[in-house]
Every structure is written in structure tokens, then in C-alpha cells.
Amino acid sequence: MIKSALQIARENYVPKMPKSLQGTVKVVEGKKTESVADQAEIEKMFPHTYGMPVLSFEAGAAADKPAMNVGVILSGGQAPGGHNVISGLFDGLKKLNPENKLYGFLGGPGGLVDNQYIELTADLVDHYRNTGGFDIIGSGRTKLEEEEQYEQGLANCKALNITALVIIGGDDSNTNACVLAEYYKNKEAEMQVIGVPKTIDGDLKNEMIETSFGFDTACKVYSELIGNIQRDANSAKKYWHFIKLMGRSASHIGLECALQTQPNVTIISEEVEAKQQTLDDVITYVANVVAKRAENGDNFGTVLIPEGLVEFIPAMKKLISELNDMLAHNEEAVNKLESNKEKREFVAEKLSDESREVFVSLPNSIANQLMLDRDPHGNVQVSLIETEKLLIDMVKAKLKKMKKAGDFKGKFKGQPHFFGYEGRCAAPSNFDADYCYSLGCTASMLIGEGKTGYMASVRNLTASADEWIAGGVPVTMMMNMERRHGQMKAVIQKALVKLNDAPFQKYADNREEWAINTQYIYPGPIQYFGPTEVCDLTTKTLKYEQGK
């Protein structure tokens, strides 16, 4: 493996940890729990793992633990810090018993079913400490939802004497982990399943999961790029940059990057939905900001756009919901059609009158993108919808009308950007390196205590790492019922931006001033070495949420 100087230096970084994980551990049980919604349905579906207590760790007396083999899976999209979860899991298991072994299933959940694996040894794990990416074992998006898959995975684990699985993933992956835990417990199979909260989107969080890992690093990477673009805009003074950011279901990344960089416009999907705004409302708002800045001679600026914006515009949301259901039942018929025109006509005939009107009004390119293959969960792949280009074209057309009416006398040149993959595999910030290592150690402790159906939890994250609170939260506690693939299913409830919470209020209090004035912040690259106040800061979102 060829390594950069930074990677070599990062291998020697020792993650900071909560005091409770630095020695031997005892488990303290809290109150019994219930799901966030749909309690009767969730309890009926998960009778063996519903209602378990929240767990926290404290220093305890040493106890002998029998040797065991554990499997680990990286599931879904990459997020900075995944390698440190595995490092913390590996070290934690070895601390419990030096004879413990850790196996990594290759290529995500599919590796469990297909029996593709490697043993993770110290020599291998040491080379990946504090590095970005998931390349130590790879990842994948195979959904584990068939009994045949559960049984094949169990048989493969038995052949390796594996009695515990750790699934590192987002809300859907951890929902799968909970389903597996319930299935194996119902069968009285000797198999524990523990989840770890991962997603750069930041939408897997609640009172017990303060943030998902990777969010901090990804936002710092995107904010550096946004800062660079803003400095370029402030230098050339002739371009409006429309920047689409990751986050299909929530605008956490856009909000965090706005708080870090202070752009002229940030669209928050949740606000668009709450105010029942139309696409034209959004376009008009942006065009008015462009016009007001032009009055000051500033024909440049930056606009941040959440990846999933189109799904939050009420009429578009209804359209996409109908499309998801319709395509789930007519996928084969649509795929048989040769031209996009034929597909659009076929689809339009099966929509409600309201959604058909919206669908046929869209540019053909956007309508075609809305018909593309769904992701494994049956949802439109919003990353493939060029929202940033759509907004540029529509703002340009709006400004043309405003110019004819004498309401705009400036110039407008739009530049589109989409920041996605750039942030998913960055070397983790010190915060994510510490947090992920602690999550991995926590997962090993949950396994050592014989727990299943839990997600590793590390809280109090705005304090110094030694004051963090480690433990476990039942996955069923986070669940509700949602429509997927045209059917109601139990899934972890996504955390959206709350318009009454401090992070959004901080943005709302300042956005008018940021819109008209050029008050850009240029964060620069992530700092790994230096004073704590520069290197170990977490997100502004966490800071404001916790009143710091």
C-alpha cells in the first residue's frame, strides 16, 4: 500500500476516548423504552427486541469473557471514520479477550450472504487507522429482507464460529440490523446483532444518537470547497455559484455548511415544505436576492441547495410519491418502452390529474431523471436530478422578466456544482476519528455483555472526549411505520431539520444580512495537528443544539 505523508502520520494518532471505555466496564440499565411512533405495530413486529432499556457504561471490575468470533459489515455509502469504528471494535474485542477474532464481510451485506470474508488481523487494521474510506473490506447496498438471506448468513457465520454481527450503516442498514436481531432471537439462534450509526447526511440522530459519524468531516470538506468558491466569486465578482450538497432526506449538511461559510442563499427543504412553497416561490426568492445584490454592484454570490429539494416542494413530493408507487408496480412495462417520450406518456397516464399536470410541465430532462431506476429502498435517486442546473435556468428566466419590467439591472451568470463524493471518503477529522473509535469500542462492549438489537451510542459530544457517555440504545426505540415500495414497513425515523431548534434559528436570524452583504467565511482545510480549539471542534449544529 502506497501512503501519503499525512496517512503515515495519521496512523500514529491515538483517538481520545470516554473514561468509561478506558478500563473495564459495567452496564447500567435505564428505563424501558418504546418506539417514537406506531408503538402497537412496532411491538407486534419486534416482540423479542421491543421495550429494552437504554444502557450506559461505567467503570467496573474485571471479568473473564470467553473467546468469541465476531463479524463486521460496512453497509451503504461511505462516511469518514468507518475504519476507526473497525479499529475500535477490533481493539475492544482484544481487550475483552486476546483470543477473540474479527472477520470482515466483503462488499457490504452481500458478503454475509455470499460468504465473502477476510479475517481482520492487527497488521491489516493498523494500516487503516484514522484513514478515510471503506476500502478495508468494502461496502454495498444489498438489502437483507428475505428469510433465505437470513438463514444463509446464519449458516455462513456458524461455519466461522461467529456469534455476533456488527452492522455499520445508516437508518435503513440499522433497520435491517434490528430485523436480523429479532429474527435470530425468535429462532433462539446464537447470534447477536449490533448497529453503529453512520451517514454523512446527519439524518440518523435523536436524543440518544447526537450525530451520525462522518457528518462532521463531510461538512468540513464541503465548507472548505464552498469557502474556496466564495473567495473566487469575491475575487472575480461575476458569477453566481449554485452548489448542490448531499442530503436527500434532510438539509442538515446545507444548514451546517451555511453556518460555517455564510453564503448569500441557503435553501432548507424542511422550510420549503413547512411553508408550502412552490418551485416558483423558491425561484422568486433567489432572483430577488440576486437583484438586490446587483443594486449594490455585486453581480456574484453563492446559493446552497439540498440534494433532496424537489421531494420537499409539496406538489413535487406528491408527484414523486406517486411515481415511486407506480414504478414499483410497473417497472417491467416501463423498461420495455424504447424512448423517453414513450415512457413519459405511459407514466403520465397513470398519475393523478394534479401530479400529471406537474409532470408534463417539467423540462423533459428533469422528467426523464424522475423516471430513472429507483435505489434499493424504492426511492428516486435525487443525486441524479440536476436541481442546481434547473434552478439556474429558472432564475435566469425570472430575471429576464424582471429586467423587462425594470426590476433588475444587473448581470447574471450561473455556475453549477454538486458536492457529494468529495466528502464521503476524506480522512476523518479528529472529532470523527475519536467518535468512531469510541463507537467501535462501545459495540465491542455491547457484544461482551451479550446484547442484541442495540445501536452503539456515544453522547455528550460537545464536552471533551473523556466526558463522553458511552452505551447502547434499542433500535426499536427509533422506529416508526413508513411507506416503502408501496407497502407500510417498520423503519428508523429520519431526523429532519427542526425549524424551531437553535441551529436553524441561528441561520434564520442572520440570513437577510448574509444575503445582501458579502460576509463570507473561508474555513480552509481540516486541521489534524495543533491546538484543540482549531483541531478538535465539532459541528456548529451540535454546538447550537446543546446551547454552547
pLDDT of residue 382: 66
Q: Is residue 478 part of a domain?
A: no
Show which of 408, 438, 473 is a domain's final residue: 473
**Do residues 409 and 449 share a domain?**
no
Q: Is residue 29 part of a domain?
A: no
Average pLDDT over residues 377-405: 86
**Do residues 376 and 418 share a domain?**
no
Question: 329 pLDDT exceeds 80?
Answer: yes
In the chain, % of residues over pLDDT 70: 98
Question: 182 pLDDT exceeds 90?
Answer: yes
Q: Is 53 exposed, middle or buried (0-12, 13-18, 19+ CB in 10 A)?
A: middle
91 assigned to active site: no
pLDDT, one tens digit per residue, over 21-47 is: 998 889 999 999 999 999 999 999 999
**Do residues 89 and 189 share a domain?**
yes
**Do residues 414 and 353 share a domain?**
no
**Do residues 102 and 192 share a domain?**
yes
pLDDT, one tens digit per residue, over 258-298 is: 999 999 999 999 999 999 999 899 999 999 999 999 999 99
Cα(75)–Cα(152) distance, rounded to whole angstroms?
A: 18
By the 8 A CB rule, do 302 and 241 touch? yes
Going by pLDDT thresholds of 50, 70 and 90, the confidence category of residue 517 is very high
> Structural domain of residue 533, as residue ranges?
215-308+385-423+494-548
The domain spanning residue 274 has which CATH number? 3.40.50.460
Q: Is residue 35 part of a domain?
A: no
- Angle in degrees, CA 444, 32, 143, rounded to 5: 55
**Do residues 368 and 462 share a domain?**
no
Going by pLDDT thresholds of 50, 70 and 90, the confidence category of residue 365 is confident
Q: Is residue 36 part of a domain?
A: no
pLDDT of residue 385: 81
First vs last C-alpha separation in the chain: 42
Which residues on adjacent β-strands are paired with residue 56? Answer: 28, 471
Residue matched to cell numbers 416503502:
484
What are the two backbone dihedrals, phi and then psi, of residue 88, each rounded to the nearest 5 degrees? -65, -40
By the 8 A CB rule, do 100 and 64 touch? no
Question: 392 pLDDT exceeds 90?
Answer: yes
At 455, list the grid cell.
Answer: 445501536
pLDDT of residue 400: 97
The domain spanning residue 83 has which CATH number? 3.40.50.450
pLDDT, one tens digit per residue, over 430-486 is: 999 999 999 999 999 999 999 999 999 999 999 999 999 999 999 999 999 998 777
Type and span of the H or E element at 471? strand 469-474
Question: 384 pLDDT exceeds 90?
Answer: no
Q: Is residue 190 part of a domain?
A: yes
Cα(418)–Cα(242) distance, rounded to whole angstroms?
A: 8
Catalytic one of 171, 201, 203, 216: 201
pLDDT, one tens digit per residue, over 164-176 is: 999 999 999 999 9
Number of separate domains in the chain: 3
pLDDT of residue 484: 78
The domain spanning residue 366 has which CATH number? 1.10.10.480
pLDDT, one tens digit per residue, over 224-248 is: 999 999 999 999 999 999 999 998 8
- DSSP letters, 209-271, are ----BTHHHHHHHHHHHHHHHHHHHHHH---EEEEEES-SS--HHHHHHHHHH--SEE--HHH
Cα(186)–Cα(290) distance, rounded to whole angstroms?
A: 60
Name the nearest CA neighbour of 522 among 177, 319, 220, 77: 220
pLDDT of residue 246: 93
What is the value of pTM for the model shown?
A: 0.92
Cα(159)–Cα(156) distance, rounded to whole angstroms?
A: 5
Q: Is residue 248 part of a domain?
A: yes
Better-predicted residue by pLDDT, 478 or 308: 478
pLDDT of residue 374: 63
Dihedral sign for Cα 477, 175, 185, 195, please: negative
**Do residues 239 and 196 share a domain?**
no
Which residues on adjacent β-strands are paired with residue 301? Answer: 240
Q: Is 133 helix (H, G, I), strand (E, B) or coil?
A: coil
pLDDT of residue 60: 82
**Do residues 95 and 182 share a domain?**
yes
**Do residues 239 and 272 share a domain?**
yes
By the 8 A CB rule, do 31 and 53 touch? yes
Which one-letter amino acid corresponds to residue 314?
P
**Do residues 395 and 506 share a domain?**
yes
Going by pLDDT thresholds of 50, 70 and 90, the confidence category of residue 383 is low
Residue matched to cell numbers 426568492:
285
Average pLDDT over residues 6-20: 93
At 2, list the grid cell.
Answer: 502506497
Going by pLDDT thresholds of 50, 70 and 90, the confidence category of residue 376 is low
**Do residues 457 and 515 share a domain?**
no
At 394, list the grid cell.
Answer: 429558472
In the chain, % of residues over pLDDT 90: 82
pLDDT of residue 327: 84
Q: Is residue 33 part of a domain?
A: no
Type and span of the H or E element at 483? strand 479-484
Q: Is residue 44 part of a domain?
A: no
Contacts of residue 172, defined as CB under 8 A and 6 or more positions apart, other chains included, come to: 76, 143, 377, 491, 492
Side-chain half-sphere exposure of 380, counting CA atoms within 13 A: 31
Better-predicted residue by pLDDT, 384 or 370: 370
**Do residues 344 and 330 share a domain?**
yes
pLDDT, one tens digit per residue, over 36-84 is: 999 999 999 999 999 999 999 998 877 889 999 999 999 999 999 999 9
